Chains A and B, each alone.
Chain A
Amino acid sequence: SAVISQKPSRDICQRGTSLTIQCQVDSQVTMMFWYRQQPGQSLTLIATANQGSEATYESGFVIDKFPISRPNLTFSTLTVSNMSPEDSSIYLCSVGVGSGKTEAFFGQGTRLTVV
């Protein structure tokens, strides 16, 4: 298993500003993922955070809007840049552990409200 600490747990931000979300894992993991959950919706994968290289973004998400850092195997950050009210969502980081790497573990999420 893995214990994931994600912070902040929630924030209210002004439009046009940026927020950086941190994700810390209690063990080294190869893959870390960032998801967005818009109000009342399901989770959508934003990107895969790769250690030592640029993140891999899913369709509809770009690095300028969601820059990601992955300085080591236990830590990653996601920045939501130039925020607008449409960015109000829960952002979750996720990792997979185990030899089969099939089960995903999630942080508690960051509930972001943009006003």
Chain B
Amino acid sequence: SQQGEEDPQALSIQEGENATMNCSYKTSINNLQWYRQNSGRGLVHLILIRSNEREKHSGRLRVTLDTSKKSSSLLITASRAADTASYFCATDPIQGAQKLVFGQGTRLTINP
């Protein structure tokens, strides 16, 4: 069953702007991950944040995690046309099991 809810479901912004996507989940987690999917193809891992971390950066990506609210956000700064894709959060409820539970995803469109 789907654990995560993501909002917005779709987001369209101009190139150069920042994009923020949110994810909420229901159960306790060991970590939360964000993935990108281009045009219905395979997923690419972007960043992982552990349950004892609050914020993490990787290049133009910034992820926050609030375990008290069971929510996370992904911020993409200075967006580019190549960032156009669907973004999914995924939780790993059972440590080491790698049975990921995915959110519904956000379809991000960057307009040139």
Which residues of A are at the interface with B, using a C-beta cutoff of 8 A?
A: 4, 6, 31, 33, 37, 41-45, 48, 59, 90, 92, 94, 96, 100-109, 111
Contact = CB atoms under 8 A, between A and B. Distances in A.
A59 B44 CA distance: 26
B70 interface: no
B98 A31 contact: yes
Nearest to A100: B96
A42 B102 contact: yes
B48 interface: yes
Contacts of A37: 40
Contacts of B33: 102-104
Interface in B1-57: 1-2, 31, 33, 35, 40-45, 48
